[in-house]
């Protein structure tokens, strides 16, 4: 007999002190991500969600989130790397929110992510980034959609 761990979503959390930063046109070679995130770490800038694109024309894009308080410094640090890393551009967006479901048993129960994504789809919310761990699934969305997203997710998991 295999005992399944029950999915136990304990809550829905939101964070609107978030900014996403994208570095476009980085060389698709080893060490680039290290150089970027090492430089941010040396400047005491905490990074949360990280997304790296599939390479095209020997380049990649990296998008990551920081607190809005660190956005200006993070962009300045990245701009300082432009000459050495030879990327195309750096952009940012402060009109984003991170919404998360938190709980236990997510990895051992199929369909938790699908249920989260369905809840967002049901209220027309587009997902910009996704991050998962053993106890949390987070999505980055447009901040104007935060209230509808939280309500829909809460209804899907807590009702």
pLDDT digits (tens, 9 = 90+) for 54-74: 878 889 999 999 999 999 999
- Paired strand residues for 51: 63
d(CA 159, CA 119): 12
Task: Express each pLDDT in 73-95 by its tens digit.
Answer: 999 999 999 999 999 999 999 99
Cα atoms in the 13 Å half-sphere on the side-chain side of 104: 3
Task: Express each pLDDT in 89-138 by its tens digit.
Answer: 999 999 999 999 999 877 777 889 999 999 999 999 999 999 998 899 99
Segment 6-33 shows an average pLDDT of 92
pLDDT at residue 1 in the model? 58
Structure tokens at 67: 């607190």
pLDDT at residue 159 in the model? 73
d(CA 46, CA 30): 22
Task: Express each pLDDT in 139-157 by its tens digit.
Answer: 999 999 999 999 999 999 9
Task: Express each pLDDT in 36-46 by its tens digit.
Answer: 999 999 999 99
């Amino acid at each position: 007999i295999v005992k399944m761990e029950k999915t136990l979503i304990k809550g829905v959390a939101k964070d609107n002190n978030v900014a996403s930063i994208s570095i476009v046109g980085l060389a698709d070679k080893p060490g680039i991500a290290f150089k970027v995130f090492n430089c941010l770490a040396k400047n005491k800038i905490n990074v949360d969600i990280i997304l790296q694109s599939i390479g095209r024309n020997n380049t990649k894009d990296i998008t990551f989130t920081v607190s809005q308080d660190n956005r200006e410094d993070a962009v300045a640090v990245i701009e300082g790397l432009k000459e050495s890393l030879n990327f195309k551009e750096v952009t940012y967006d402060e009109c984003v929110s991170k919404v998360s479901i938190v709980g236990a048993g997510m990895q051992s129960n199929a369909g938790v992510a699908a249920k989260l994504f369905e809840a967002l789809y049901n209220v027309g919310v587009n997902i910009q980034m996704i991050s998962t761990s053993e106890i949390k699934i987070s999505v980055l969305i447009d901040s104007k959609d935060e209230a509808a997203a939280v309500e829909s997710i809460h209804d899907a998991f807590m009702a």
